[in-house]
Amino acid sequence: MECQKEKNLKNCPCTSPSCPRKGICCQCIDHHREKDQLPACYFSAETEKTYDRSIKRFIQDQE
């Protein structure tokens, strides 16, 4: 299966300017999971901009 990076980038809400994993969702998830975090697409647009990808922040974002 070919990487769907270009397609993924069209839907990626991450505003991190220089991340090499942007659009490569498998690497993005792996990177954040290793840190007990979630990727940008789990957060509201406002919270995403804080770059806090913690599970705690995700839960707060749902309230």
What are the residues binding ligand SF4 (CB under 6 A)?
Answer: 14, 16, 19, 21-22, 28, 31-32, 39-40
Closer residue to ligand SF4, CB minimum distance, 35 or 60: 35
Closer residue to ligand SF4, CB minimum distance, 18 or 62: 18
Give DSSP secondary structure letters for 21-57.
Answer: TTT-HHHHHHHHHHTTB--GGGS-HHHHTTT--BHHH
Closer residue to ligand SF4, CB minimum distance, 2 or 5: 5
Least separation in angstroms between residue 19's CB and ligand SF4 is: 3
Radius of gyration for the chain, computed over Cα atoms and rounded to the nearest angstrom: 12
Contact at 8 Å (CB) between 9 and 27?
no
